[in-house]
Amino acid sequence: MAKETLKEENKRLTQELKEARSQVELLMKEVSRLNNEANAAYEHSSFYEADQACIRDLKQQVEMLKSQLSHNRKEREKASEEIRLLTIEKNVAVERMADAQNSSNVYKINMLSEELETVYRENRELRAENEALRKSKPVHNERNAGRKKNDATYMKRYAEFANLVRKGNNMTEIMELMEISRSTYFRFMKSYKEDLEFDTAIDTAQEEIRKKNKVPQNNK
């Protein structure tokens, strides 16, 4: 067999390419025909109807979700606005309550101060009445001898006595240090106990007032 020349080879390859292209075209047409037939068969099948129904349902669900999202967004915005207004109202209410509480505390303190002052005044009046009763009674010392309780010297001696009692000195020590008699000691002690009871009663009343109104106790 004679060797093929370059020209002959080129001609042969060109012919083969042309035939291959023709076959490709035929195959493409066949594929297109098969696709059309398959689509037509699918569209007339029960699967197609089921798929279309599923697609319609999905579209409806998507629209419902969009509507819900829009509604939820509006509700969220409405709730946020309500929360903002409620927060403002709460802050105003808290401020008003604080003002009212302060006013109430001031009023209570003033009332308690007046009550305490009344207690002081009533106590002074009772002491004055007791003193008047003592003076109106017949006394053993009709000449009114001895020291008077409003006498400056008596008050000085009484202050000295009270200071010794607070320090813890006993009766014998106080009588020796102050050079007083037993009767004078007991007279001083009676006055001391009366003053102590009065001061204790006042301190107790003040403490009860502070507890009721939570008023901090002042350091003495």
Domain boundary pick from 129, 164, 179: 129
What pLDDT does residue 134 have? Answer: 59
- Return d(Cα 17, Cα 23) in angstroms, integer: 10
Residue 185 is part of which domain span?
A: 150-213
167/119 same-domain check: no
Alpha-carbon torsion (215, 216, 217, 218), positive or negative: negative
How buried is residue 160: exposed, middle or buried, by Cβ count under 10 Å (0-12/13-18/19+)? middle
pTM above 0.75, yes or no: no
Quick check: is 121 in a domain? yes
CATH of the domain at 192: 1.10.10
pLDDT tens-digit series, residues 65-116: 898 888 888 888 888 898 898 889 889 888 887 776 766 666 766 776 677 7
| Exposed/middle/buried for residue 178 (C-beta within 10 Å: 0-12, 13-18, 19+) | middle
Is residue 39 a part of any domain in this protein? Answer: no
User: Which residue from 213, 200, 18 is spatially nearest to 111, judged by alpha carbons?
Assistant: 213
Domains: count for the chain: 2
Q: Give the pLDDT confidence of 153-193 residue by residue, as tens digits.
A: 899 999 999 999 999 999 999 999 999 999 999 999 999 99
